[in-house]
């Protein structure tokens, strides 16, 4: 994992929370509710993604059993932040600028003046920096929730279990 400067992940259907935290940590993490094992493997093969799964049966597929596809077993009984620490540690991965936690798109800074009608008035008055996802057009800003997210990311990066 660490050899790839831009690792891209695909999380199995049970790891939606991990996908969101990987995106917050700055990594491209695909997740789709209800994706089947064969669909997930095919997606990883086509797009060069690292498969992340907590399903031991998935690792019985020949392509994973014989290490023909990069994959990592993620312990299910951990919370998403602990799972993130596990993935960061196994891949020796640093925290990066965040991506959209909803879809994984890149966040692009947007001039404040263009957002008056899209941002709550108090937030608009309080903050000067805003970002928009280049895929889903969701807006992001560093409110009080972002401080909590950043603290959890830093704990995950520091613990890397």
pLDDT tens figures, 8-39: 999 999 999 999 999 999 999 999 999 999 99
DSSP code, position 5: S
CB 62 within 8 A of CB 68: yes
SS3 78: coil
Tokens (6 digits) for 159 = 């613990």
Q: Output the pTM of the full model.
A: 0.89
For residues 3 and 139, what is the distance between their CA atoms, to the nearest angstrom?
Answer: 32
Condensed to tens digits (0 to 9), the pLDDT of residues 148-157 reads 889 999 989 9
User: Residue 112: helix, strand or coil by DSSP?
Assistant: helix
């Amino acid at each position: 994992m660490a050899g790839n400067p831009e690792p891209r992940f695909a999380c199995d259907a049970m790891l939606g929370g991990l996908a969101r935290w990987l995106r917050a940590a700055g990594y491209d993490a695909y997740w789709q509710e209800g994706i089947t094992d064969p669909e997930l493997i095919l997606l990883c093969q086509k797009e060069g993604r690292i498969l992340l799964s907590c399903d031991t049966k998935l690792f019985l597929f020949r392509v994973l059993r014989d290490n023909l596809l990069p994959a990592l077993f993620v312990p299910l009984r951990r919370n998403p932040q602990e799972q993130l620490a596990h993935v960061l540690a196994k891949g020796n991965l640093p925290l990066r600028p965040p991506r959209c936690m909803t879809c994984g798109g890149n966040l692009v800074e947007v001039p404040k003046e263009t957002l008056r009608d899209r941002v709550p008035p108090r937030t608009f008055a309080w903050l000067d920096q805003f970002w928009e996802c280049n895929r889903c057009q969701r807006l992001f800003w560093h409110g009080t929730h972002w401080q909590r997210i950043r603290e959890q990311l830093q704990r995950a990066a520091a613990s890397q279990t």
